[in-house]
Structure 1
C-alpha cells in the first residue's frame, strides 16, 4: 500500500513538473501551494486520507493550463479580458482531464473549484459557502497567498505580508475563515514559504 501511495505521489509530482515546464512563469508554484495546503489541512485536523488527496489536488491544481496557449500564459503585460477568460478555463479543463484519467474523488472536483469564492464571486461555476468543498476552500487560500507572494510574468513579487493582508481582508467573504486563520498562523510562525518548502 505504501508503494502505491509513493507511486501516486511521484506521478502527481511528474504532472506538476510538466505544467511548470509548459508554464515556466509559475515555476515551483504548485509545489509551494501543495505544501501550504497540506500544512493548513493538518492545522485544521483533516485525517490522513483527506490530507493526501488535498496534497495531490494542490500539486496538480493548474494542470488545465497545459491546454492553454503558451503566449497567453507567458505574456509579460496585463492580460486583456478575453485572454483572462482563456486563463480562467484552466480549472474546468483540469477537472475534465483528471476525471478522464480516473483520479479518485474529490481530487478532480477540488481542482475544478479552486477559484470559487465564499460569496459566489469566483469561477467557473459561481459556487458559494458550503457548496465549495472544504479542501477546495483550503486550496483557494494557499493558491492566492502563493500567487501574490511570488513573481509573475507581468509583475514582481508583492511579498507574504501583502498576501496575508489580502486573505485577511477577504476572510469570510471570499476565503474560508478557518483556512485563513490557519494560513496566517503557519506563515507568521515560519516567516514565509522558505522555511517549510523543500
Structure 2
C-alpha cells in the first residue's frame, strides 16, 4: 500500500497515513471467531455478515485514537468497491477515500497471493490478473494500473523484511 501511495505521488505524510491504515485495517477481525476466519468452504449468510462487520469493528477500535489523518475512516472504507458493490456502506467512486482505494487493492493482492488456512496461495500473477480484470469496476483504475506497474517494475513483497519484534509474536 505504501509503495502504491508513493508511486501515485502522494506527499510523504499521506504515504505514512496509508502505511499506518494498511497495518491496522483488519484489527476489527479480533471480534470475529477464529474458526470462522479459517473456515474452509462456503460461508453461510450469517458467517458472511459477521466477517463483513470487521471494517466497522476496526473503525470503532480506532476512531478515538488521535492520528494526523482520519485513519479510522480509511480503515472503515477498505472493503468499499469502485462501483458501489462493496461494504459496509456501498460507497462508490470519489465517495471512497484514495487511501482506502489503495488499501483495498493492496489487500486483494496480498489475500490472493498469500497462503490462507483454507487454501494455498494462488500466486502474484493471479492476484494481478484479478486487479487488471476488475480495474474500473471493483478497483479504482488509476490505483490498479499503478499497483500492476509496481510489480512489472520488479516490486516484491520479499523486499520488505518483517521487523524482528513481529517475528517473535505468537501466532495463536
Specify if TM > 0.5.
yes
Partner of 1:13 in structure 2?
none
> Where does residue 154 of structure 2 map in the other structure?
190
Give distance in 2, aligned partners of 1:170 and 1:39.
Answer: 20
- What is the DSSP-based 3-state SS (H/G/I as helix, E as strand, rest coil) of the residue aligned with 1:174? coil
Q: CA RMSD in A?
A: 1.3
Of the three residues 35, 39, 45, the one matched with 1:81 is: 45
**CA distance in 1: counterparts of 2:8 and 2:64, whole angstroms:** 31
Structure 2: segments with no counterpart, 5+ residues: 162-172
> Structure 1 runs of 4+ off > 6 angstroms?
none
Q: Please say if residues 72 and 83 of structure 1, whose CA atoms lie closer than 8 Å, have aligned partners that are also in contact.
A: yes
The equivalent residue for 1:141 is 105
Residue in structure 2 matched with residue 94 of structure 1 by the alignment: 58
Distance across 2 between alignment mates of 1:174 and 1:99: 26
Runs of 5+ consecutive residues of structure 1 not aligned to the other structure = 1-36
Structure that is richer in helix per residue: 1
The residue aligned with 1:20 is: none
Equivalent residues of 1:78, 1:154 under 8 A apart: no
Q: CA deviation at 1:105?
A: 3.2
Provide the rounded CA distance (Å) in 1 between the counterparts of 2:80 and 2:71: 15
Report the CA distance shift for 1:67/1:101 in structure 2 as closer, same or farther (over 3 A): farther
Mapped to 2, the partners of 1:79 and 1:103 lie a distance apart of 35
2:74 to 104, 110, 114: 110
Asked whether 1:46 is paired with 2:13, we answer no
Residue 57 (structure 1) aligned with residue 21 (structure 2):
yes
Deviations 1:93-131 (A, max 9, x none): 001110033444320000000000010000000000000
In structure 1, distance between residues paired with 2:157 and 2:69: 28
2:88 is aligned with 1:124: yes
* Offset of residue 191 of structure 1: 5.8
| Alpha-carbon distance between aligned partners in 1 of 2:67 and 2:86, rounded to the nearest angstrom | 24
TM-score normalized with structure 1 length: 0.78
